A and B are shown apart, each in its own frame.
Chain A
């Protein structure tokens, strides 16, 4: 399966990265990691890329790593549709002190707009 993981540096996106890479190490799926500009985080793209490379190395797994500039949700959906990915994978949101799940802005956009299946990692 051809997977496209979007990561913008939020905690839930890092968790999605770790879980997806662990799974790809078992399944051998074809993984692309797209580093997004998430306006809600202050993570710099180079720092995210280092993190991605470290997680891939630890799992002895390879993936293509790409940077997407501009609006994160729309760029991700565009890439997934144009290059015929089977699935978009994203972090499934943060949890408030109360325990309420709050979906991130990128996930909201992607869920409502993507013709490609979407997995939210919880």
Chain B
């Protein structure tokens, strides 16, 4: 968890749903996750190349995938899925963290759909959905050798907040801090 966020507010970001053509000419729809998407999402993670895992997620066995998806689609989380012809091909999620209105972010795009502009759209749309429900600060961690991912996060507005360990932490501010009522 980071406690260092940019002063500047990023965005505004688009809200789901959105449909666009990716760089391969495929029609991709990004929308809020619905419990009915669960089967498609599980199938996506079962097909996910383990070489693209980061810091232990996504998990690999069916049991661990189930437990993990239960946790990250639970109450007060925000999830968006990228869908192509009925299949989930990308997923991004915000999971609440301390203090209030803070979330940790993760994003996954199925290997055959990477490098097609889907990740950028997915990320922006997730941040739009997150801002709409009141998240003010979002952070993530990324392996420090993962330059393409770091560039993507920077392009969207994330800034490095902790670069001293194996994983870089990055953060973004979605709204000014709520006025204290205390």
Contacts and interface: CB of A to CB of B under 8 A. Distances in A.
A binds B: yes
A35 B1 CA distance: 25
Interface stretch (A11-19, A25-33, A101-109): A101-109
Contacts of A101: 55-56
Interface in A4-54: none
B165 A96 contact: no
B165 A103 contact: yes
Nearest to B167: A102
Nearest to B58: A99
Interface residues of A toward B: which range? Answer: 10 to 19
Contact of B104 (A98, A103, A105, A108): A98
For the complex, would chain A's binding face be called helix, strand, loop or mixed by DSSP majority?
A: loop
A102 B71 contact: no
A103 B56 CA distance: 11
B93 interface: yes
Contacts of B166: 103, 108
B156 to A, nearest CB: 18
Give the one of B93, B105, B167 with max A CB within 10 A. Answer: B167
A98 B166 CA distance: 17
Counting chain A CB atoms within 10 Å of each CB, which of B95, B141, B166 scores highest?
B166
B57 interface: yes
A108 B106 CA distance: 23
B97 interface: yes
Contacts of B96: 97
B167 A98 contact: no
Interface string A46-82: 0000000000000000000000000000000000000
B95 A100 contact: no
Nearest to A111: B166
A103 B68 CA distance: 19
Interface of A: 95-103, 105, 108
Which 3 residue pairs of A and B lie closest in terms of their CB atoms, listed nearest first? A100-B55, A101-B56, A97-B95
